[in-house]
Chain A
């Protein structure tokens, strides 16, 4: 999450926004965001349906697997990766998508 916060100015350049989704309660996320100094939205999804949609919720496991998803403005998933975010890869993908957008 700190990596995303550090790259917010680059996401702006590529016309991208970042949001986090977690199964934790709102109060937990508020505390966590304040403690880390995060300024982007964090969504509380205790039921976990978002994780189910993105395949980030393993059967019998209470938390989401870490997953990064890039969705375009038409709602199409353009990138998905499990595990720790690869910030360089994310920026390369956003740059490519932004270039495609500029070329339309």
Chain B
């Protein structure tokens, strides 16, 4: 049968809800998605990692912008916390690391009204392949907060994945980047256990 719109193919039509209504996000995995495997944890049989030591705490905020995340609080300033996370679908769209980090920082922590400086970029090797490290600082000028952010972009198949490290301090307080070593250890221990949905598609 000859079709009328040979150039079009299939159409995915998305009827949207806009107008300022918060949309229900798909439920993020709860702690039950994690199972112990020796000193490591396994997330939904997808990946395995060694969690950062206490006082880092697993975050389960029903967010959908990361797959697994940990937070560490301190008392030296207000705010005073570090966060590390792995995201299967980091903000942005491009499969190119440099473009992706630009897209990423337009959305990352946007609800916190943070203004990021242009990121310093370093090529790296991560998860057995190429990667890109983006380091920047964001400032929230009204509350006088600042955040140091280090994001490592990597690949799972052709898709871009991300590891995030943030540390929040008040504008006048100094960062304590010793927590960053826990982040690097987290990445170092990280292993995929099977091909992703997209690799099998």
CB within 8 Å of B: which residues of A?
1-6, 8-11, 14-24, 28-29, 32, 37, 42, 50-51, 54, 56, 62-74, 78, 83-85, 88, 90-92, 94-95, 97-98, 101
Contacts and interface: CB of A to CB of B under 8 A. Distances in A.
Contacts of B6: 73
Interface string B1-38: 10111101111111111110101111000000000000
Contacts of A88: 197
B15 A73 contact: no
B89 interface: yes
Interface residues of B, number: 32
B3 A2 contact: no
B21 A63 contact: yes
Nearest to B65: A2
A13 B14 CA distance: 19
A1 B89 contact: no
B14 A85 contact: yes
A92 B95 CA distance: 21
Given A84-B26, A88-B197, A91-B201, A4 B14 contact: yes
Given A8-B93, A84-B23, A91-B201, A70 B11 contact: yes
29 contacts: A2-B93, A6-B89, A6-B93, A16-B9, A16-B12, A17-B9, A18-B11, A18-B14, A20-B16, A21-B16, A22-B16, A22-B18, A23-B19, A37-B103, A37-B106, A54-B15, A63-B21, A64-B17, A65-B17, A66-B16, A66-B17, A67-B14, A68-B15, A70-B10, A72-B11, A73-B8, A74-B1, A84-B23, A88-B197
